[in-house]
Amino acid sequence: MLTSNTANLNAEPLLKPIQIGPIQIDTPLTLAPMDGMTNYAFRRLVREHSGSDCGLVCTELLSSNILTSADPRARHKFDWQAHEYPFAVQIFGNDPPKMAQAAKILVDAGAAIIDINMGCWVPKVARKGGGAGLLRDICTATSVVEAVVKAVDVPVTVKVRAGYTEGEPTAIPFARAAEDAGVKLIAVHWRFASQGFRPDPPNWDVIAEVKNAVRSIPVLGNGDIRTTADAQRMMTETGCDGVMIGRAATGHPWLFRHIAHLLRTGEVLPEPPIHIRAQAALDHARVMVETSDYGEERSVMELRGRLHQYFDEFIDTDPILADLRYQLVRVTRLDQIEALLHPLITMQFEEMAS
C-alpha cells in the first residue's frame, strides 16, 4: 500500500503535535468516524497496530434525537473505554437545545471530546437538516455549535464537508464562525455533500481556504488519503495540520504507524505478511463478538463482508485468498472465521520457523 518514499527529511517536520483545547495530540493522523465500522473493536485494533501514531479516534455518529429520547437504542453505541483516551464521540442533529442535551449526556458517560457531524450527506440525515444539511444554513449551524460548546466542559470539534451544494463552499465562512463560537478543531472532507463519494478530481483548495479562514485552531484534511505520499502532499499543499483517514484504514489498522514512520524517518516499513493480516482479521472478529451488544450472529454478519479487506492487495493474484473471501462473506459464526483464518496464521509461522 505504501510505495513511495517522498519524505524530505531536511524540511520542517510535518507531523507536529496539535492542541484540541487542553488535549495535546502528538501525532496529527486521526481515524475518521465511520458508521458501522469505527466501533470499539476496530478502534482498539487501530490502536494496537498503530499505537499513538493514530493520534485520535472517533466513534460512529450518534443521533441527538435518539440520545435525548427514551429510546432504548440510545445507549447501545456507548462503547468507548477509558483506555482509548483521547477519543471523540460524534453526534448529529440540527436542534441546538437537543444537541446540547445530547452532548451533556455523552460527557457524563465519559466522552473526552464531542465532535459535531456536519459531513454526513446521506439523505435520511442531511435532508432533515442534520449532518452536511447544516452547511446549507450557517446560522443554524453556528447556533448548534454555540449551544454544544456552552453545554459541556470538554473540547468540541466539527467535521464538515466543503459545503452542501457543489460550488458553494460554505465550510469556509462557517469555519471562522465555529472558531469564534469556541470550536477547537475542524476536519474538512474536500467533497461537497452533493458529490456523495463520487471519484471526482480532488478539490483540496477548500481545505487550504478553511485553514486560512481560522485564526489558530488546527484543521485536519480528509478525503481519499491512502498512502504516505497522499498525506504528505495534502499537508504540504493545503497547510492543514494533520489528516483524517477513513476507508484506507479498514483492513489496514497499521496504516497510521506506517505513514508516521515514513514521515519521521524516510524509511518505508515492510507491509505486514499474510499471517499478521489473518491474525488482525481474527482479532477484529473476536473483539467485535466479545464487546458488541448485538450478539455473535449479528456481529459476524456485520463484519463478514469486510474481513477480506485485510487481504485485498493479494486477492486478485492469489486464488487461495480469492477463495477465502468467497468463504468469509458467508460465515455466520466466530468459529467458522477461526477455522478459515487459523491455517493462514499457523502456516505462516511454520514457514517462518523452517
Residues that bind ligand FMN (CB under 6 A): 32-37, 60-61, 90, 117, 119-120, 159, 189, 222-225, 245-248
Comparing CB distances to ligand FMN, the nearer of 120 and 183 is 120
Could you tell me the smallest distance in angstroms from the CB atom of residue 38 to ligand FMN? 7
C-alpha cell at 51: 499505537
Comparing CB distances to ligand FMN, the nearer of 242 and 278 is 242
C-alpha cell at 143: 447556533
Could you tell me the smallest distance in angstroms from the CB atom of residue 256 to ligand FMN? 12
Could you tell me the smallest distance in angstroms from the CB atom of residue 165 to ligand FMN? 18
Could you tell me the smallest distance in angstroms from the CB atom of residue 344 to ligand FMN? 26
Comparing CB distances to ligand FMN, the nearer of 118 and 289 is 118
Sheet containing strand 185-189, edge to edge, reads 29-31, 242-245, 219-222, 185-189, 156-161, 113-118, 87-92, 57-63
Query: What DSSP designation does 38 have?
Result: S
Distance CA 299, CA 243 (A): 30
Report whether 313 contacts 325 (CB < 8 A): no
C-alpha cell at 255: 496504516
Q: Which of 57, 34, 45 is nearest to 286 (CA)?
A: 45
Could you tell me the smallest distance in angstroms from the CB atom of residue 352 to ligand FMN? 33
Distance CA 314, CA 273 (A): 11
Query: What DSSP designation does 162 have?
Result: S
Task: Estimate to the nearest angstrom the gap between the alpha carbon of 305 and the chain centroid.
Answer: 19
Could you tell me the smallest distance in angstroms from the CB atom of residue 58 to ligand FMN? 8
Terminal Cα-to-Cα distance of the chain (whole angstroms): 28
**Which residue is at the shortest CB distance from ligand FMN?**
246
Distance CA 246, CA 32 (A): 5
C-alpha cell at 96: 441546538
Supply the residues annotated as catalytic. 120
The full length of the chain comes to 354
Comparing CB distances to ligand FMN, the nearer of 60 and 179 is 60
Comparing CB distances to ligand FMN, the nearer of 244 and 278 is 244
Phi-psi bin for 167: left (phi > 0), alpha (psi -120 to 50), beta?
left
